[in-house]
């Protein structure tokens, strides 16, 4: 099996390559088929890995070649498939395939499918590469590749400058995180002369003491990278704007897969975080704050995709919270369930937006009241799962488990209180959308039929949003407890509260979504009567973070750049011109003064003198012999006198 590992990232990569190189010979409709086939090969390879027993065997490994070989800096193009990676590649390749299939009809009318499917395939390749990478540099390659594809797909409809800017904003913001990750790689390499993830982690646990400076630094730098990619505070600003991309892109990149890459990164390097408990706690703290931030901002949004974007920020916060409490397996479980229900929500939203003439506003969508029952049911399932509706949804199992695990972490009750409040808000904001869009809708008017590929994708996602959670029933309940046990060796396990506490926590987790749905009902009724939430404007702008960064970062940076540009123009150009001018002045002065005034004059003077002398002397040549004889005798007398005297 391990010799086929390269196929997982390789087949979408090949797909992208073929589309890029041979695209000129293909028709528009061929691109979607080709790209979907490439995604399918990746998915089937993952499936094959499951069938061949990758879930229980030792990690599979494959090394293709040494990428850059300088001394100890020996990153390879090599892959490792352990259980953590297996979960991730399963999620990514299955949702990736579904979204490729969904796109076949969703993007059918677009005239630039070559670019769309090139980047979609490239994204899938990058994401799978980052998961399978056995060293930090290859991981970084995948990390940047998905960032690039995210940039290109957010700005897919680039003729609109706002969409193009949204892509740029996403790239640059995440790159600030990438800088931190890069520095983390340099630090680890400097300490251990090694880039392989497994060797690094093994060395770190042996050589570093818990709580000492180095692991703290390393964990902080890695956390910085994770925050950027996963849109956590304070680098979350790019995600709401990223909704400018096509809906399938939002579902795949900005909900299910890429934004959870930060969670994967922390889970992958969790031994470093265990060596740095302070950092681990701050992971939990950041997660908790982000939960509240995202949920509160989602409450006030009117654009359906922006609700889902803030919801993603908030839900990834739960994964960070779990990681911060050491419950890595539960973070991964929530990652999985979230991937399904959030992709489902985005795709239903996308379908609604498409069938209602690009209408994003939830009030207007509700007024049109033109939704098929499939869409209605799919959205309801997604919303219920997101809210954590007890027992029957997957979201309940993953979120409840995280809440319970939070309790016994350091400052657990406080974190738990915030997270529980966030879970209440979650039910409120998503059912606010549901009630606005679907309440009182009459499906009387003619509906365009939903094409088959879309129906399939939605149905599969809806089913998964309900059942995936059954792999891990709450503690103390009958039923399966596969997940934590299976991942314990690789990801460790968190401490649990006592069973009595757990039961009461579970009870609260069951009740909160129900209360939230009730609150949403009241809220929608009040809003329809014209009441606004308190602080609605503040919440709608995402707590004004954009304006803040505009003032403290972007404007100063531009001002600084313009300042130096002027300095350079004035100082260097000025000096140079001054030098040239003073050179010219000196030259002119030399010309006028020295050349004309002194040298020329002296030469003309000399010439004049010579001419005068010549005239005087030539006057003596008068041809009179007597005068000559007189001069000769006078000369002779003079010489004789001089000699004798």
Partner 1 sequence: MNWLLSVLIFLPLSGALMIALTGHNKTIYVRWAALTISTVELSIALGLWWIASPDSDGYLYIVQVPWIPTMGIQFLLGMDGLSLLLVLLTTLLVPIAILVSWRSISHNWSTFAALLLATQAGIIGVFLALDLILFYVFWELMLVPMYFLIGLWGHERRLYAAYKFFLFTVTGSLLMLVAILGLYFIHGEQTGIYTFDYFKLLHTNLSGDTGMWLMLGFFVAFAVKIPLFPIHSWLPDAHTEAPTAGSIILAGLLLKTGAYGLLRFCLPLFPEASIDFAPFAMALGVVGILYGALLALVQEDIKRLIAYSSISHLGFVVFGIYTWNQEGLHGAMLLMLAHGATTSAMFATIGMLEERTGTRLLSCMGGLLSPMPRLGAMLLLFTLSAMGMPGLANFVGEFLVLAGVYQVSASLAIAGAMGIVASAIYLLWMYQRAMLGEQSSDRIWVDLDRREMLILTLLAVTVLWLGLYPAPFLDYLQVPATGIIESNPAIMTGTEDAFR
Positions that interact with partner 1 (CB under 8 A): 20, 65-71, 73, 115, 137, 140-141, 144-145, 148, 151, 155, 158-161, 164-165, 168, 171-172, 175-176, 178-179, 182-183, 185-187, 189-190, 557-558, 560-562, 564-565, 568, 572-573, 576
Smallest distance, Å, CB 19 to partner 1? Answer: 12
Closest to partner 1 by CB, 151 or 483: 151
Smallest distance, Å, CB 536 to partner 1? Answer: 32
What is the rounded radius of gyration, in angstroms, for the C-alpha atoms of the chain? 38
Closest to partner 1 by CB, 160 or 532: 160
Closest to partner 1 by CB, 224 or 382: 224
Closest to partner 1 by CB, 175 or 376: 175
In whole angstroms, what is the distance from residue 596 CA to residue 588 CA? 10
Smallest distance, Å, CB 9 to partner 1? Answer: 12
Smallest distance, Å, CB 130 to partner 1? Answer: 11
Closest to partner 1 by CB, 168 or 481: 168
Closest to partner 1 by CB, 560 or 599: 560
What single DSSP character describes residue 582?
Answer: H
Contact 295, 310 (CB under 8 A): yes
The vertex-72 CA angle with 67 and 74, nearest 5°, equals 15
What single DSSP character describes residue 48?
Answer: H
Smallest distance, Å, CB 190 to partner 1? Answer: 5
Smallest distance, Å, CB 544 to partner 1? Answer: 22
Closest to partner 1 by CB, 577 or 600: 577
Smallest distance, Å, CB 453 to partner 1? Answer: 27
Give Cα separations from 17 to 42, 108, 513, 625 (angstroms). Answer: 15, 21, 46, 114
Tokens of 589: 């002065």
Smallest distance, Å, CB 211 to partner 1? Answer: 20
Angle at which helix 277-299 crosses helix 412-438, to 10 degrees, equals 30
Closest to partner 1 by CB, 59 or 234: 234
Tokens of 31: 């691109």
Q: What is the DSSP string of 381-446?
A: HHHHHHHT-TTTSHHHHHHHHHHHHHHTSTTHHHHHHHHHHHHHHHHHHHHHHHHHHHTT--TTS-
* 52: number of Cβ within 10 Å: 13
Contact 240, 150 (CB under 8 A): no
Smallest distance, Å, CB 595 to partner 1? Answer: 24
Q: What is the DSSP string of 194-260?
A: --BHHHHHHHHHHHSPTT-HHHHHHHHHHHHHHHHHTT-TTSTTHHHHGGGS-HHHHHIIIIISGGG
Give Cα 453 to chain centroid, integer Å. 29
Smallest distance, Å, CB 269 to partner 1? Answer: 18
Smallest distance, Å, CB 164 to partner 1? Answer: 4
**Three-class SS state of 309:** helix
Closest to partner 1 by CB, 76 or 311: 76
Smallest distance, Å, CB 200 to partner 1? Answer: 14
Closest to partner 1 by CB, 160 or 485: 160
Smallest distance, Å, CB 459 to partner 1? Answer: 36
Smallest distance, Å, CB 71 to partner 1? Answer: 4
SS (H, E, C) 101-150: HHHHHHCCCCCCHHHHHHHHHHHHHHHHHHHHECEHHHHHHHHHHHHHHH
Q: Where are the alpha helices (DSSP H) in 492-554?
A: 499-528, 536-540, 545-549
Closest CA to 425 of 532, 299, 290, 240: 299
Closest CA to 398 of 318, 458, 496: 318
Q: What is the DSSP string of 318-350?
A: HHHHHHHTT-HHHHHHHHHHHHHHHHHHHHHHH
Closest to partner 1 by CB, 14 or 20: 20
Closest to partner 1 by CB, 579 or 630: 579
Closest to partner 1 by CB, 261 or 327: 261
What single DSSP character describes residue 474?
Answer: P
* 634: number of Cβ within 10 Å: 10
Closest to partner 1 by CB, 159 or 616: 159
Helix (H) or strand (E) holding 621: none
């Amino acid at each position: 099996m391990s010799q086929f590992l390269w196929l997982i990232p390789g087949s979408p990569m090949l797909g992208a390559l073929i589309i890029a190189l041979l695209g000129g010979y293909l028709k528009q409709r061929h691109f979607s088929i080709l790209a979907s086939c490439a995604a399918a090969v990746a998915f089937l390879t993952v499936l094959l890995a499951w069938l061949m027993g990758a879930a229980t065997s030792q990690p599979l490994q494959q090394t293709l070649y040494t990428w850059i070989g300088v001394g100890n800096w020996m990153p390879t193009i090599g892959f490792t498939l352990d259980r953590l990676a297996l979960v991730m590649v399963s999620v990514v390749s299955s949702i990736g395939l579904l979204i490729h299939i969904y796109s076949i009809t969703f993007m059918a009318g677009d005239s630039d499918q070559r670019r769309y499917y090139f980047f979609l395939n490239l994204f899938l390749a990058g994401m799978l590469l980052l998961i399978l990478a056995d060293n930090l540099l290859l991981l970084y390659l995948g990390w940047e590749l998905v960032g690039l594809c995210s940039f290109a797909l957010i700005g897919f409809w680039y003729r609109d400058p706002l969409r193009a800017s949204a892509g740029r904003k996403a790239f640059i913001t995440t790159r600030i995180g990438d800088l931190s990750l890069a520095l983390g790689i340099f630090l680890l390499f400097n300490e251990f002369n090694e880039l392989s993830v497994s060797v690094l982690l093994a060395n770190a646990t042996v050589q570093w003491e818990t709580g000492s400076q180095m692991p703290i630094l390393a964990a902080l730098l890695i956390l910085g990278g994770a925050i950027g990619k996963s849109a956590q505070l304070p680098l979350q600003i790019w995600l709401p704007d990223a909704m400018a991309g096509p809906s399938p892109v939002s579902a795949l990149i900005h909900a299910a897969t890429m934004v959870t890459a930060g969670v994967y990164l922390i889970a992958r390097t969790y031994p470093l975080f265990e060596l740095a408990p302070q950092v681990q706690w701050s992971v939990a703290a950041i997660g908790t704050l982000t939960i509240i931030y995202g949920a509160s901002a989602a409450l006030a949004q009117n654009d359906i995709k922006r609700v889902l974007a803030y919801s993603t920020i908030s839900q990834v916060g739960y994964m960070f919270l779990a990681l911060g409490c050491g419950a890595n397996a539960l973070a991964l479980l929530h990652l999985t369930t979230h991937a399904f229900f959030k992709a489902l929500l985005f795709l239903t939203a996308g379908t609604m937006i498409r069938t209602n003439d690009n209408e994003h506003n939830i009030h207007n969508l509700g007024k049109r009241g033109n939704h098929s029952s499939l869409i209605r049911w799919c959205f309801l399932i997604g919303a219920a799962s997101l809210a954590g509706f007890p027992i029957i949804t997957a979201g309940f199992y993953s979120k409840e488990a995280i809440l319970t695990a939070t309790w016994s972490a350091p400052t657990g009750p406080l974190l738990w209180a915030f997270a529980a409040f966030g879970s209440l808000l979650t039910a409120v904001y998503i059912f606010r959308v549901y009630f606005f869009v679907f309440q009182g809708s009459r499906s009387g008017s003619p509906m365009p039929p939903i094409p088959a590929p879309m129906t399939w994708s939605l149905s599969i996602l809806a089913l998964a949003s309900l059942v995936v959670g059954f792999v891990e029933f709450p503690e103390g309940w009958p039923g399966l407890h596969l997940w934590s046990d299976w991942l314990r060796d690789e990801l460790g396990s968190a401490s649990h509260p006592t069973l009595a506490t757990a039961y009461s926590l579970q009870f609260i987790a069951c009740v909160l979504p129900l209360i939230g749905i009730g609150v949403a009902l009241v809220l929608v009724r009040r809003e329809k009567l014209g009441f606004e939430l308190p602080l609605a404007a503040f919440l709608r702008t995402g707590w004004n973070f954009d304006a803040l960064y505009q003032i403290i970062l972007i404007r100063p940076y531009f001002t600084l750049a313009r300042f130096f540009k002027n300095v350079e123009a004035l100082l260097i150009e000025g000096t140079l011109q001054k030098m040239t001018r003073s050179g010219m002045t000196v030259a002119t002065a030399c010309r006028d003064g020295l050349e004309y005034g002194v040298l020329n004059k002296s030469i003309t003077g000399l010439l004049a003198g010579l001419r005068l002398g010549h005239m005087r002397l030539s006057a003596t040549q008068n041809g009179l012999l007597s005068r000559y004889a007189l001069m000769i005798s006078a000369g002779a007398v003079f010489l004789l006198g001089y000699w004798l005297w």
